[in-house]
């Protein structure tokens, strides 16, 4: 509940005349806090097993909003697992994730729909897609308003879809970031890129507030996310 | 069709015009050389020569190739099949009006009036086969019998079945010709192997044990025809119509219109609990021409067209009209289309499909409908081309390998997709590909620009990478140059550059290219 108070001060007070938005922001904060704790287990979208330690309860809750920064491969690994379920995934905005890399990561391309240039309509398009798709990846424009963010987060929760954003986003439950990376396979003038060791760090709210980290190969030699000793620590 | 009243209706004399192995012929093959069309890894159609070598429908592609090594394999393309078939349909229509296309390669038409006009059934057959061969150059096989199903079977045997003899003609034929694998597999295990055996079973028992569709198949085996292939107008409020402004003259815009209209029609039918098994596609052009063509669902089924099946047929037909026919006197429309109508000619009660009780987990069909609705909305907002799925094919370049196919169009593979492409970088592919390459600078220890000579030598070891807008980072690993020299025969499309993979001290991986003194970043391995 302290969380709710903070939300009010931080975001809603500056645009005080906008009462519906203000109320919505209170609703968002309280409801998501509740959803993180309880809820039936079938409301979890599949994720690659190596990433499980990063998510509270070991899974990605349907209806949640997460951000991924600094790594398209990480986005693809999450998309691939949902699409293999088999689920439907969509992507809005540019630049599009690399399609060849997507195929290598195991994404079913026929069930991965891309809207590269939504223009001014990006929020409307995303809202429409959240109605039907299991996971929607959004590259929001820099001018995305807080109202749009709140509305889309609420829509995702209402439709039990996962909203995955590749930029900063207010109201996201989990923020994933690649904090360390090292490519293997390249020498001084010879070799090819083969696999990448990464450390992925998760920060979040509520049950996800404690930071977690996982070390893995992303992509591994076959293009997918592979384990490489998983660590979970509470230090920053 | 479950009531005896309709069943007892006398079957109509029907002519079936069949082009054997049409997908192969349409793809450019012929009966004398072994060829096959592959759909989803299995043989979908093969030529007569291939069949002699042991190639069969439904075989795996590899198995077929092992039986017949010289087999030419063509890609599957149902809109091509329909487009190439349009002239054949036209030339039959010119002789016998009122044709219905069952699928590209098979047409049925009521024959009584035409037989009278041409003074007999045999003269009619002779007229049709010579006219089609003269006008289109395609060989057709004809069959004449009572009822659509019997006529189609007769066409496979190139026979004329005398009036009233359909049941006797069908009796010795294997039960698999009913094209209902689930039903016929079971019947064969029960010892019922021919249509004659099946017809002997009491109809009420078949209905009780196997359901309405099997009872309909039972009627077919008897040589009954529940519905004559004749026009029966649907109530006017079922007709889906759209005025096209501006007029359309391109296939891709037509596709989008076809989809919207098909969905409209399907929704109207399903709210009344109806399905449609024959549909007329009508179009009017700017100069006032009326184009009409009918399509029949499978010919012998009680299940109606789905929304996507209606959209497919409409798209094929529009494609055929807009680009297929080149005969100027009556074929190709002289202007764009201004009006499109879909008329459900023949409607039946929809027996429906039982959805699972707990949502869509087991069927997935519900999901697809929801997805299609959502995407139709987005296409309505941004235009049909704005929504796409990617196909990864052959090519050397990360951008060249990817084709974005607008939603609703077939995800075709091209001939080069499965071939090896020497010079392709091995996987992993970059996860971020920049839409336009970004300028960069690669410098050596002493700060001088690293260059690549014509003999693919590097002037100095790359040490610093500076991408436009960022500060310089140290290069810790690099490989290359790999030369790219494509389309050198075409001065405008030619591209000659050298590519490098580079890792920097922050752990990032980059795909760089060097082209006549300039460095750029093509993609980032993030």
End-to-end CA distance of chain A: 25
Interface mutation vs chain B, best among A114, A115, A193, A215, most B CBs within 10 Å: A193
A-chain residues near B524 (CB < 8 A): 72
Query: How many CA atoms lie less than 13 Å away from A120 in the CB half-sphere?
Result: 0
Contact: B477, A187; criterion CB under 8 Å: yes
How close, in Å, is residue B166 to chain A by CA atoms?
Answer: 45
Contact: B388, A114; criterion CB under 8 Å: yes
Contact: A71, B407; criterion CB under 8 Å: no
Alpha helices in B226-364 (DSSP H): 251-271, 307-319
Contact: B426, A192; criterion CB under 8 Å: yes
How close, in Å, is residue B513 to chain A by CA atoms?
Answer: 15
- Write down the pLDDT at residue B511: 92
pTM above 0.90, yes or no: no
Q: Using CB atoms, pick whichever of B404, B477, B503 lies closest to residue A114.
A: B404
Q: Using CB atoms, pick whichever of B377, B391, B477 lies closest to residue A128.
A: B377
The pair of structure tokens assigned to B109 is: 């038409």
Q: Which residue of B has its CA nearest to A129?
A: B374
Distance CA B202, CA B186 (A): 17
Asked if B284 contacts B339 with a C-beta cutoff of 8 angstroms, the reply is yes
Q: Which residue of A has its CA nearest to B383?
A: A118
Contact: B374, A132; criterion CB under 8 Å: yes
How close, in Å, is residue B526 to chain A by CA atoms?
Answer: 5
Q: Say yes or no to pLDDT of A26 above 50.
A: no
**Which candidate, B242, B243, B256, B348, places its Cα nearest to that of B302?**
B348
How close, in Å, is residue B264 to chain A by CA atoms?
Answer: 19
Interface mutation vs chain A, best among B390, B391, B435, most A CBs within 10 Å: B390
- Write down the pLDDT at residue A127: 93
Interface mutation vs chain A, best among B428, B459, B465, B526, most A CBs within 10 Å: B428
How close, in Å, is residue A69 to chain B by CA atoms?
Answer: 10
Contact: A131, B391; criterion CB under 8 Å: no
**Which candidate, B263, B256, B252, B245, places its Cα nearest to that of B337?**
B245
Q: Which residue of A has its CA nearest to B384?
A: A115
Q: Where are the beta strands (DSSP E) in A146-234?
A: 162-165, 174-186, 188-189, 191-204, 212-217, 226-227
The pair of structure tokens assigned to B295 is: 């399509």
For helices A146-158 and A122-132, angle between their N-to-C axes, nearest 10 degrees: 10
B-chain residues near A179 (CB < 8 A): none
- Write down the pLDDT at residue A36: 39
**Which candidate, B21, B286, B285, places its Cα nearest to that of B139?**
B21
Contact: B367, A191; criterion CB under 8 Å: no
Alpha helices in B341-442 (DSSP H): 365-382
Q: Which residue of A has its CA nearest to B457?
A: A189
B-chain residues near A46 (CB < 8 A): none
End-to-end CA distance of chain B: 62
Phi, psi of B74 (to 5 degrees): -105, 150
Contact: A116, B386; criterion CB under 8 Å: yes
Residue B163: DSSP 8-state:
T
**Which candidate, B213, B223, B235, places its Cα nearest to that of B9?**
B223
Contact: A186, B398; criterion CB under 8 Å: no
Q: Which residue of B has its CA nearest to A219?
A: B428
Q: Is the peptide bond before B159 cis (omega within 30 degrees of 0)?
A: no
- Write down the pLDDT at residue B232: 44
A-chain residues near B382 (CB < 8 A): 115, 117-119, 121, 125
How close, in Å, is residue A183 to chain B by CA atoms?
Answer: 6
CA B468, B472, B478, B483 dihedral sign is positive
Distance CA B338, CA B331 (A): 17
Please enumerate in sequence order all residues whose Cβ is within 8 A of that of B282, keeping only pairs 6 or more positions apart, or say none. Answer: B290, B291, B292, B339, B340, B341, B342, B343
A-chain residues near B434 (CB < 8 A): 95
- Write down the pLDDT at residue B138: 87
Low-confidence ranges of chain B (pLDDT < 50): 1-8, 228-233, 299, 325-330, 353-364
Interface mutation vs chain A, best among B431, B434, B512, most A CBs within 10 Å: B431
Per-residue pLDDT tens digits for A121-156: 899 999 999 989 999 999 999 888 899 999 999 999
Please enumerate in sequence order all residues whose Cβ is within 8 A of that of A138, keeping only pairs 6 or more positions apart, or say none. Answer: A91, A92, A93, A122, A126, A152, A163, A164, A165, A166
Contact: A114, B382; criterion CB under 8 Å: no
Contact: B371, A132; criterion CB under 8 Å: yes
Q: Is the peptide bond before A95 cis (omega within 30 degrees of 0)?
A: yes
Distance CA B65, CA B61 (A): 6
How close, in Å, is residue B61 to chain A by CA atoms?
Answer: 22
Q: Using CB atoms, pick whichever of A98, A124, A190 lies closest to residue B432.
A: A98
**Long-range pairs of B486-490 with CB within 8 A, sequence gap ≥ 24:** B486/B396
Contact: A98, B386; criterion CB under 8 Å: no
Interface mutation vs chain B, best among A99, A102, A124, most B CBs within 10 Å: A99
A-chain residues near B393 (CB < 8 A): none
- Write down the pLDDT at residue B53: 86
The pair of structure tokens assigned to B178 is: 């009913």
Q: Is the ipTM of this complex over 0.90?
A: no
Q: Which residue of B has its CA nearest to A112?
A: B389
Size of interface A-B (CB pairs under 8 A): 161
The pair of structure tokens assigned to B123 is: 């003269």
Residue written as tokens 């293009």? A223
Distance CA A159, CA B291 (A): 44
The pair of structure tokens assigned to B55 is: 């190639």
Residue written as tokens 């904060």? A29
Q: Using CB atoms, pick whichever of A72, A109, A192 lies closest to residue B432.
A: A72
Contact: A189, B479; criterion CB under 8 Å: yes
Phi, psi of A197 (to 5 degrees): -85, 130
The pair of structure tokens assigned to B239 is: 């007709």
């Amino acid at each position: 509940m302290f969380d709710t108070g903070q939300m009010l001060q931080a975001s809603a007070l500056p645009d005080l005349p906008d009462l519906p938005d203000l109320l919505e922001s209170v609703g968002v904060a309280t409801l998501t806090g509740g959803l993180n704790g309880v809820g039936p287990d079938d409301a979890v979208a599949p994720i690659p097993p190596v990433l499980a330690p990063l998510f509270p309860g070991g899974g990605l809750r349907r209806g949640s909003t997460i951000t991924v920064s600094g790594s398209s491969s990480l986005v693809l690994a999450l998309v691939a697992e949902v699409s293999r379920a088999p689920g439907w995934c969509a992507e809005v905005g540019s630049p599009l994730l690399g399609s060849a890399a997507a195929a290598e990561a195991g994404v079913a391309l026929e069930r991965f729909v891309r809207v590269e240039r939504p223009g001014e309509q990006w929020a409307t398009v995303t809202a429409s897609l959240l109605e039907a798709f299991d996971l929607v990846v959004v590259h929001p424009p820099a001018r995305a308003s807080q109202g749009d963010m709140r509305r889309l987060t609420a829509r995702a929760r209402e439709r039990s879809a996962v909203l995955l954003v590749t930029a900063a986003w207010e109201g996201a439950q989990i923020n994933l970031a690649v904090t360390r990376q090292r490519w293997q396979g390249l020498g001084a003038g010879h070799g090819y890129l083969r696999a990448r060791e990464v450390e992925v760090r998760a920060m979040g709210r509520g049950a996800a507030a404690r930071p977690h980290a996982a070390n893995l190969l992303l992509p591994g030699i076959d293009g997918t996310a592979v384990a490489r000793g998983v660590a979970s620590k509470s230090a920053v | 069709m479950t009531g005896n009243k309709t069943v007892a209706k006398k079957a109509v004399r029907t002519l079936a015009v069949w082009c054997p192995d049409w997908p192969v012929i349409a793809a450019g093959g012929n009966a004398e050389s072994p060829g096959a069309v592959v759909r989803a890894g299995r043989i979908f159609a093969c030529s007569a020569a291939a069949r002699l070598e042991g190639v069969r429908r439904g075989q795996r592609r590899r198995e077929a190739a092992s039986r017949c090594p010289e087999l030419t394999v063509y890609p599957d393309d149902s809109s091509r099949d329909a487009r190439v078939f349009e002239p054949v349909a036209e030339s039959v229509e010119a002789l016998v009006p009122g044709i219905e296309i069952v699928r590209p390669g098979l047409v049925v038409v009521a024959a009584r009036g035409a037989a009278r006009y041409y003074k007999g059934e045999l003269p009619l057959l002779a007229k049709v086969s010579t006219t089609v061969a003269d006008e289109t150059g395609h060989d057709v096989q004809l069959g004449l019998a009572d009822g659509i199903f019997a006529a189609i079977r007769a066409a496979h045997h190139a026979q004329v079945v005398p009036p009233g003899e359909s049941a006797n003609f069908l009796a010795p034929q294997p039960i698999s010709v009913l094209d209902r694998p689930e039903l016929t597999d079971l019947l064969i295990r029960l010892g019922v192997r021919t249509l004659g055996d099946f017809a002997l079973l009491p109809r009420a028992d078949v209905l009780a044990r196997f359901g309405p569709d099997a009872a309909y198949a039972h009627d077919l085996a008897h040589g009954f025809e529940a519905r004559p292939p004749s026009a029966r107008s649907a109530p006017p409020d079922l007709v889906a119509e759209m005025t096209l402004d501006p007029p359309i003259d391109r296939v891709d815009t037509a596709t989008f219109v076809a989809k919207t209209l098909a969905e409209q029609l399907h929704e109207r039918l399903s709210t009344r609990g109806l399905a449609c098994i024959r549909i007329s596609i009508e179009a009017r052009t700017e100069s006032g021409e009326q184009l009409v063509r009918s399509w029949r669902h499978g010919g012998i089924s009680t299940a109606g067209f789905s929304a996507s099946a209606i959209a497919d047929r409409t798209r094929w037909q529009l494609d055929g009209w807009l680009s297929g026919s080149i005969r100027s006197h009556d074929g190709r429309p002289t202007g764009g289309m201004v009006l499109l109508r879909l008329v459900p000619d023949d409607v039946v009660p929809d027996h429906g499909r039982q959805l699972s009780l707990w949502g869509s987990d087991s069927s997935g069909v519900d999901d697809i409908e929801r997805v299609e609705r959502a995407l139709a909305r987005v296409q309505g907002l941004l235009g049909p081309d704005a929504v796409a799925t990617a196909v990864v094919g052959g090519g050397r370049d990360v951008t060249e390998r990817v084709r974005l196919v607008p939603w609703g169009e077939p995800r075709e593979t091209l001939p080069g997709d499965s071939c090896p492409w020497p010079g392709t970088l091995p996987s992993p592919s970059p996860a971020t590909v920049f839409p336009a390459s970004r300028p960069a600078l690669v410098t050596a220890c002493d700060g001088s620009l690293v260059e690549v000579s014509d003999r693919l030598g590097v002037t100095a070891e790359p040490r610093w990478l500076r991408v436009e807008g960022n500060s310089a980072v140290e290069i810790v690993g690099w490989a290359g140059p790999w030369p790219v020299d494509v389309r050198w025969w075409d001065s405008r499309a030619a591209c000659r550059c050298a590519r490098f993979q580079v890792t920097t001290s922050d752990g990032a991986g980059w795909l760089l290219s060097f082209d006549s003194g300039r460095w750029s970043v093509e993609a980032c391995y993030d």
